[in-house]
Structures are given as C-alpha cells and as structure tokens.
C-alpha cells in the first residue's frame, strides 16, 4: 500500500519564477492538505482540497494556489517566488476533510535563490 508521495524531492528556483509541486495521496484517501515548513519551525497550513475544491485556507497570499484532480492527487503552485518561499513543502492526505489523522509525504525541499 503506497503512502503519500511527492515530487520532486528537491527544487532550485530563482526569484520571480513559478513552481509546481505534486502530491499523490495514500490509497483510499480523498483529501489533500498542503503545509509549508521553514527551517527550525513547525509546519504551517497552506490550504486543503476536497472534492476538487479548496475547502480551507491558511494565512498565505494568493501567489499560492492549488488544484485537485479527479483521482485525488493534487498540485501546489507558487507564483512570483520570493526568497522567503524557501522551505519544505509537505503534502498530507486524509479520509475526509475534517480528519485530524493525516498522513504526510516526505516533502519537497524548495530553494529560491
């Protein structure tokens, strides 16, 4: 049973560029949440997708957007990258949008130069 997978594992971009990160949820899960984790900090909630719609959003600007596909996989897009966007981006899947038991992927490490 495959767990949550994310791609790519690492990424280097320059300021102003755009990036797309991908996530496949654990088998049987229909909800995907995205988190940003800066070095030395706990993960911060970006948004959650369920039934192909954004259900809840954290305190992140509109430069951060996402999408969920019919197979429940998801993408996180970040436009106009800033140096401060450098972080580990984590995807978590769950069964339903209100579950507190979420299963995290290994993350994508983004470095913005």
Partner 1 sequence: DAKTTQPTSMDCAEGRAANLPCNHSTISGNEYVYWYRQIHSQGPQYIIHGLKNNETNEMASLIITEDRKSSTLILPHATLRDTAVYYCIVRVSGNTGKLIFGQGTTLQVKP
Q: Write out the binding residues for partner 1, residues 24-83 only, by CB under 8 A.
A: 31, 33, 35, 41-45, 48, 50, 55-56, 58
Q: By CB under 8 A, which span of 12-20, 67-75, 79-87, 99-107 interacts with partner 1?
A: 99-107
Residue whose C-alpha is closest to residue 25's, from 56, 55, 70: 70
Q: Per rule CB under 8 A, is residue 22 in the interface with partner 1? A: no
Least distance between partner 1 and beta carbon 12 (Å): 17
Cα separation, 91 vs 86, whole angstroms: 16
Q: What angle do CA 65, 100, 19 make, to 5 degrees?
A: 20
Q: Note the residues at the interface with partner 1 (CB under 8 A).
A: 4, 31, 33, 35, 41-45, 48, 50, 55-56, 58, 90, 92, 94, 96-107
């Amino acid at each position: 049973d495959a767990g949550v997978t994310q791609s790519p594992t690492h990424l280097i971009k320059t300021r102003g560029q755009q990036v797309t990160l991908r996530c496949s949820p654990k088998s049987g899960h229909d909800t995907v949440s995205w988190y940003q984790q800066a070095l030395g900090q706990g993960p911060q909630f970006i948004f959650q997708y369920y039934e192909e719609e954004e259900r809840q959003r954290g305190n992140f600007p509109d430069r951060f957007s996402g999408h969920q596909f019919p197979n429940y996989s998801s993408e996180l897009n970040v436009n106009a990258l800033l140096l401060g966007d450098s972080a580990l981006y984590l995807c978590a899947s769950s069964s339903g949008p209100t579950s507190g038991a979420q299963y995290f992927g290994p993350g994508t490490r983004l470095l913005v130069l």
